[in-house]
Amino acid sequence: MKPKLVIVGAAGRMGRRIIALAQEAKKFEMAGAVEMPSHPEVGKDAGGIKIVSEFPQAADVVIEFALAQASERTVEFCVAKNAALVMGTTGLNAEQKSKVEAAAKQIPVIYGTNMSVGMNILFSLVGKAAEMLGDQYDIEIVEKHHRFKKDSPSGSALTLAEKICEATGKNIKNSLVFGRHGSMEREKGTIGIHAIRAGDITGEHDVIFSTLGETVTLSHSAHSRDNFAHGALQAAQWLVGKGPGLYTMADVLGIK
């Protein structure tokens, strides 16, 4: 039998692409396309399945790309139905993240700020690069997204910073500088993060390592949302049947 799949955030750009690609792949039974009760698209078609405000009676796996405030309802449903959860929602606060982590003690969960294969390779590389290049190289992260993105900086930019800090022993709370203005000299050892919101940019991330005499840049550009959607579906298929735990896309892709 095919796993029963529920999409939360079904009316959004990502939700609609996941639905379309899931139906095209034919590896899941579409069990539900869920949105917040107040969403104007509730009751409308999302490519062969109606968008509803309530969760179905049963699910094997749930994929969520929604606003952060939807996360608690999704987590509660997954725990109650013993359904695996793939969460791509970004901008979660500390309390919301703690509830995801608590749920992972009862069900299998993947919480990823970015589901693309290429971006997860970049996550793996940036820490190694920072460690090899050392403190003489200034580090700046520049991320670009479409004008509709709600959170900034992006979850992926923060993950890049986390990977760098983990590899170099930096304290992330004291290391990040968000944008710059006014008159100030760059503080050694900090990581600058800059968010650009314009047009319909799908997603671009540049990690710049620069010292006197040279610059090394590691970059990822998303050409469309399909790579995120394919990654989420790959994660959902991998997660079904796993034991409780908080997994990552690195686990899905076998990245060490």
Active-site positions read 145, 149
Of 24, 30, 3, residue with least CA distance to 226: 24
Alpha carbon distance 137, 191 (integer Å): 10
Alpha carbon distance 18, 10 (integer Å): 8
Place of tokens 């294969």: 117
- Backbone φ and ψ for 117, nearest 5 degrees, come out as -65, -50
Tokens found for residue 118? 């290429």
Structural contact between residues 110 and 252, judged by C-beta atoms closer than 8 angstroms:
yes
